[in-house]
Amino acid sequence: MRIGTFLPHMSAASSPELMARSAQHAEALGYDSLWVAERLLYPLAPRNPYPGMPEGSLLPDYYRQVFQPIEALTYVAAITKTIRLGTSVLNMPYHNPVVLARRLATLDVLSGGRLNVGLGQAWSIDELEAAGAAPGNRGERADEFVSVLRTMWGPDPVEHHGKYFQVAKSIIAPKPVQQPAPPLYMAAYAPAALNRVARLADGWLPAVPLVAIGPMMGQIRQMAEAAGRDPAALGIVMLGFVSLTDSALGDGRADFTGTLDEVRRDVETARALGVNELVLIPEAPKDGTGDQVLKDQELLRPLV
């Protein structure tokens, strides 16, 4: 099982200096990958709740400052050599796939072929509205979105004529270093979204309780087989949100919380479930230096 970590590109402590230190430190420690998320707004009166928080509450404080994901990865790509760079996730409704395909291809080339692409459907009504995203047919649009990405990254001449997107016959360069495309993972929870993973993605990118991993991945593999794909070829890149404590939390604790030994047990459970890559996400830095990020990277690396 591979291990990933999170680039500290969000929170009040985030800065170019901290991102650079963290990325180089993670690479030196032997982490396999470095991941970023996407947030557009910090709404002061959110119209739908952040997942896991009560209706009407504000988003977590670390979302008040967020460096944009592709730009942040491009920055650290220039000062690292081997660590892979992943998006968890880019929200498809916020983007035009033609433009995004060009930006991601550029990042893959500049990084020497180290990009993992994670995509999602978004959940914030406020962000969807701000991005001008169409309110309906998001599932159908997502299917075509992925098709456009793969077409743009494929052989020239490129051409696409669909319901939502049009690409005239064209030469598109540069192409990604990774051919036929960078690995593409999707966050998914609802049945229709799980089916999209089964049909179109290289793997699943969940942030769900460990107890749900086996049953949901089983559904995905059944759907993949029904779609004529090899279910064994689909991978799992799991996100684990870590909160370390000095004292054991015991029964009923959330996954990846508690003492280092308790988190280690969760890591082994993930391994036994067939997770291919576990991205351990420490708590956002609370001090101005961000030194805790580097210490957490050191603590968590030996767990995998």
What was the pLDDT predicted at 55?
74
| Chain Cα centroid distance, residue 222 | 23
What was the pLDDT predicted at 193?
96
Please list, in sequence order, all residues whose beta carbon lies within 8 angstroms of the beta carbon of residue 230, skipping any fewer than 6 positions away.
224
pLDDT at 189 over 90: yes
- For the chain, the average pLDDT equals 96
Report the percentage of the chain scoring pLDDT > 70.
100
Per-residue pLDDT tens over the stretch 94-143:
999 999 999 999 999 999 999 999 999 999 999 999 999 977 789 999 99
Q: What is the mean pLDDT of residues 210-234?
A: 97
Instruction: Give the C-alpha separation, 172 to 189, whole Å.
Output: 34
- As given in the structure block, the two tokens for residue 95 are 């983007």
Per-residue pLDDT tens over the stretch 226-259:
999 999 999 999 999 999 999 999 999 999 999 9
Please answer whether residues 92 and 196 qualify as being in contact, where contact means their C-beta atoms are separated by less than 8 angstroms: no
What was the pLDDT predicted at 51?
81
What was the pLDDT predicted at 57?
84
Domain ranges within the chain, ordered by starting residue: 1-88+242-304, 91-185
Amino acid identity of residue 48, one-letter, is N
CA distances from 222 to 32, 194, 237, 253 (A): 29, 10, 18, 31
